[in-house]
Chain A
């Protein structure tokens, strides 16, 4: 009997709780009236270092001051976890109001109609793109609709330590930096300073090199590789094997153990060149770590078509957002407001809105001026960015990394690696028809 009454009590408690929840639901409009002013936006972003978090918080702080009725709750994830987290949120229909999305994934999210088209806000000038060249936001355009707003522009970059280069009697890399020159520079650095020249080359180097050779990583239909001659692949790795043997590059193991951007051999002052996969906006992290100014140059062998400008990230509004208007205000502020731009210091790429650039001119630091000069060089001498990778891109990237390690640890020859990469990439692309 006691058991029974206790059980009934529990059911009663649970059901009354449910009832109270229900009541709360009914009360909502009333509460809403009281709190009408306060809107809380959620946003996600990718962070590879503490500096990223600080910079993002700085903009949010300024935004909340400018729009006191909007609060922004930002959460970040680092590394590959970001894409995975975003995917899970999308699957659960729980995307934040403001989503930061990379160029590579933009089309996928837009196609699945998870994002709100921004055209209405653009035409009402809530998002102010007046005088902005359309090329800067072309990557977020799908079927004539704009799904994201570029935060700032980036390019791949070969950083270099000016002092070490000087010590080795090496001229800073010029436009049209050749592989031969790079190789002899690496050797000079090794011989005269005892430092390593650079880290190993990455898939980004390979892609840039393919572009310079009028080829591409994927073909136009994205159902096969975009280069016919495996010699390109073989040369790319044979070069590294011989440099590795001479001790011109950091040990591969050191590179594989690198976790954060700050950890790399270049920010730690172990190499004279910093290729790795640095983007121009990461200069702040590198300079902070090294405690001095670094130079920026195009990749060796990039020729005239190799380098390209890439939007660092896009801001999009989730279709499921309950506060799209406020979200639009926020993403506009992030990209187009001078205050935000000053707080960011071009941290998420160089601004492209002419009004912002004009306003920034006076406050530009030397570093920013260097980045700006470098980017305008890339714009002038590079070519357009490749279309986003196919959906199976991550699988192919994983394969490239795996085979690259297999070759550089001297388990297979470059020739065998080239053939294996081609065969397995084709298998992946055909197994997963897009």
Chain B
């Protein structure tokens, strides 16, 4: 029997379900959806937080793309950061995962140890520690002086030519979660395939390139997408260590967004920047997804296969 909509509405399970998820729904509407759409509205306004927003149409977006050198600079810095740090971190994570996948003594303990930096990596404490390590009187410079007798009188964090590099290094160092996912992926690769290749006389490099990499490609794809999204959102590292300086060498997109919103009181402009970021990351992620058919190998291809 076909249910009418009225009968459907009378189903008590419906209300029970909504009643149960009510607290979560409330959170979603009040703390997520409302601010999201409010910021969309604000992006078309001039809003200084203290007075009411004034509708200015597309002025914010126009200014961003035609009349704001610091915006351009922040885009450049962020793109460079993502382009360098994401592939580097993936390579590093994969290399460590491959090492830990070997049957060596204490691999389990090592796995936990290598994951530790990631557990702490997002925290402010580690970022501050990075500053202590690579500051002008930091551990790294002292190490170079006492072991190699090399006198380094620059701060890796605040010198304009190394500032971005040291933040990229910090990001590469937080390779743990990518590594863990790689490790799980490596475990999934059937040993029989690798053994068969070994019997056929394939070298280790050949086996890695022809068996491991293709079978691992879905995992690489996942890590790449997550890395790109995370990379564009980079904020606390720069905010705490460099504050976007020296002379905007580490002015990440989100730092500039924050500066505009809270320091310069252009909340409307900041909101517009946030939406541009969302669009840009979405488009980029979509492109990566489109490209995936070219290089990602799924075991169960289904009808998508050529």
Q: Which residues of A contact B (CB under 8 A)?
A: 1, 3-4, 6-8, 10-11, 14, 80, 83-84, 87-88, 90-91, 108-109, 112, 114, 251-254, 256-257, 391-392, 394-395, 398, 401-403, 405-406, 409, 411, 424, 427, 431
Distance in angstroms from A125 CB to nearest chain B CB is: 32
Q: Is there a chain A Cβ closer than 8 Å to B74's Cβ?
A: no
> 1/0 per position for B110-134, CB-CB distance to A under 8 A?
0000000000000000000001000
Q: Are B50 and A7 in contact (CB under 8 A)?
A: no
- Which residues of chain A are within 8 angstroms of B137 by Cβ–Cβ distance? 254
Q: Are A405 and B13 in contact (CB under 8 A)?
A: no
Say which residue of A88, A251, A398, A409 sits within 8 Å of B49 (CB atoms). Answer: A88
Report Cα–Cα, A398/B264, bound state, in Å.
10
- 4 closest pairs, A vs B, by CB? A7-B16, A4-B12, A253-B155, A7-B19
Q: Is there a chain A Cβ closer than 8 Å to B302's Cβ?
A: no
Give the secondary structure class of A's interface: helix
Report Cα–Cα, A253/B245, bound state, in Å.
11
Say which residue of B16, B50, B69, B160 sits within 8 Å of A6 (CB atoms). Answer: B16
Q: Offer 13 A-B interface pairs, CB within 8 angstroms, sorted by A.
A: A6-B19, A10-B22, A87-B262, A112-B50, A251-B136, A253-B135, A253-B157, A254-B136, A257-B136, A394-B264, A395-B263, A395-B264, A402-B245
Q: Are B159 and A80 in contact (CB under 8 A)?
A: no
Q: How many A-B residue pairs have CB under 8 A?
A: 103
- Which residues of chain A are within 8 angstroms of B12 by Cβ–Cβ distance? 1, 3-4, 7
- Which residues of chain A are within 8 angstroms of B22 by Cβ–Cβ distance? 10, 14
Q: Is there a chain A Cβ closer than 8 Å to B149's Cβ?
A: no
Report Cα–Cα, A8/B17, bound state, in Å.
10
- Which residues of chain A are within 8 angstroms of B259 by Cβ–Cβ distance? 398
Which single residue of chain A is at the shortest CB-CB distance from B251? A402
Report Cα–Cα, A403/B263, bound state, in Å.
18
Q: Are A84 and B157 in contact (CB under 8 A)?
A: no
Q: Are B247 and A402 in contact (CB under 8 A)?
A: yes
Q: Is there a chain A Cβ closer than 8 Å to B154's Cβ?
A: yes
Report Cα–Cα, A358/B136, bound state, in Å.
48
Say which residue of B13, B136, B159, B246 sits within 8 Å of A4 (CB atoms). Answer: B13
> 1/0 per position for B229-267, CB-CB distance to A under 8 A?
000000000000000011110000000000100111100
Q: A87-B265, A257-B136 are in contact. List 14 more A-B contacts (CB 8 A).
A: A7-B16, A8-B15, A10-B22, A80-B263, A84-B262, A90-B50, A391-B48, A402-B248, A403-B247, A405-B160, A405-B246, A405-B247, A409-B159, A431-B63
Q: A4-B16, A7-B15, A253-B158 are in contact. Are A394 and B245 (CB under 8 A)?
A: no
Which single residue of chain A is at the shortest CB-CB distance from B50? A112
Report Cα–Cα, A392/B137, bound state, in Å.
36
Q: Are A254 and B155 in contact (CB under 8 A)?
A: yes
Q: Are A257 and B15 in contact (CB under 8 A)?
A: no
Report Cα–Cα, A14/B262, bound state, in Å.
37
Report Cα–Cα, A147/B245, bound state, in Å.
36
Report Cα–Cα, A424/B73, bound state, in Å.
14
Which single residue of chain B is at the shortest CB-CB distance from A80? B263
Q: A80-B263, A87-B265, A114-B50 are in contact. Are A10 and B19 (CB under 8 A)?
A: yes
Q: Is there a chain A Cβ closer than 8 Å to B153's Cβ?
A: yes
Report Cα–Cα, A10/B20, bound state, in Å.
7
Q: Is there a chain A Cβ closer than 8 Å to B67's Cβ?
A: yes
- Which residues of chain A are within 8 angstroms of B248 by Cβ–Cβ distance? 402
Kindly identify, within residues 152 to 184 of chain B, every residue whose CB is under 8 Å from any CB belonging to chain A. Answer: 153-155, 157-160
- Which residues of chain B are within 8 angstroms of A252 by Cβ–Cβ distance? 158, 246
- Which residues of chain A are within 8 angstroms of B18 by Cβ–Cβ distance? 7
Q: Is there a chain A Cβ closer than 8 Å to B51's Cβ?
A: yes
Report Cα–Cα, A403/B246, bound state, in Å.
9
Report Cα–Cα, A69/B41, bound state, in Å.
46
- Which residues of chain B are within 8 angstroms of A427 by Cβ–Cβ distance? 67
Which single residue of chain A is at the shortest CB-CB distance from B16? A7
Q: Are B16 and A394 in contact (CB under 8 A)?
A: no
Distance in angstroms from B124 CB to nearest chain A CB is: 12
- Which residues of chain A are within 8 angstroms of B50 by Cβ–Cβ distance? 87, 90-91, 108-109, 112, 114
Distance in angstroms from B136 CB to nearest chain A CB is: 5
Q: Are B263 and A7 in contact (CB under 8 A)?
A: no
